[in-house]
Amino acid sequence: MQKLEQLYEGKAKKVFRTDDPGLYIVDYKDDATAFNGVKKGTIASKGIVNNTMSAIIFEMLESKGIPTHLVKLLSDRETLVKAVKIFPLEVIVRNAAAGSFSKRYGMEEGHVFTKPCLEFSYKNDDLGDPLLNDDHIVALGLASEEQLAVIRDYALRINDALKEFFLEIGLKLIDFKIEFGLCDGEIILADEISPDTCRLWDVKTNEKMDKDRFRRDLGNVEETYQEVLKRVKNK
């Protein structure tokens, strides 16, 4: 499959057209940003880690009945995916307090919730990705009530599958962000699942094994991404 012109370049990925209008090629970069683009840097080989890990996880989710955009891993940085129209929603699932949740509500990081907490924000950098409730989503025309019900159900099923998957490799899934798209009228999981988009804490040491190492200058950023990939691959 040939890469044709670039359709889009985001903070961490480029998307290319192919000769099939239904398929795109995603190319993962090493660029890292945090705090809505205010902090910028690179994490060597991050693109390889996120591309490889996302493909393994999306395949696992497919096997559990979650439809995804994954078609085929093409190289260490490239994946062939189904072309989708992305819902401009960041779907965040939290199993414990951390990050913006802790800051907003004053709850200590690591406090485990009695049930998963689902949250939506508007993918809109100019507005600073504001939080959305269900009525906001419908009022803004970002998704219908029916679509939202499907997204909610998938998000919670994905959380169950991911929690189990990561626990088996010694990682606690604190929270994560996913995105969905529409493909031939079907809602499917798109984007990526990686240490950029999940908070993962080592079960034994509670060490942060994710992008917080970059956000908070905790050191060993590259090594941590490699360690997560190693565990995912060896599973």
Contact positions vs ligand UDP (CB under 6 A) = 90, 92, 98-101, 175-177, 196-199, 211
CB of 4 to ligand UDP, least distance (A): 28
> With respect to ligand UDP, which residue has the nearer C-beta, 20 or 119?
119
Token pair, residue 17, equals 């057209």
> With respect to ligand UDP, which residue has the nearer C-beta, 46 or 199?
199
H/E element, 147: helix 145-167
> With respect to ligand UDP, which residue has the nearer C-beta, 62 or 129?
129
H/E element, 201: strand 198-202
CB of 124 to ligand UDP, least distance (A): 11
> With respect to ligand UDP, which residue has the nearer C-beta, 50 or 79?
50
CB of 5 to ligand UDP, least distance (A): 27
42 within 8 A of 30, measured Cβ to Cβ? yes
**Which of 142, 144, 146, 172 lies closest to 159 in space, CA to CA?**
172
> φ, ψ for residue 201 (rounded to 5)?
-115, 135
Helix axes 46-63, 221-234, angle to 10 degrees: 30
CB of 201 to ligand UDP, least distance (A): 11
CB of 2 to ligand UDP, least distance (A): 30
- Residue 49, SS3 per DSSP: helix
Return the residue matching tokens 């269900």: 134
226 within 8 A of 48, measured Cβ to Cβ? no
CB of 63 to ligand UDP, least distance (A): 23
Which residue, judged by CB position, is nearest to ligand UDP in the bound state? 99
> With respect to ligand UDP, which residue has the nearer C-beta, 87 or 101?
101
> With respect to ligand UDP, which residue has the nearer C-beta, 81 or 174?
174
- In degrees, to the nearest 5, what angle opens at C-alpha 179 toward C-alphas 176 and 180? 140
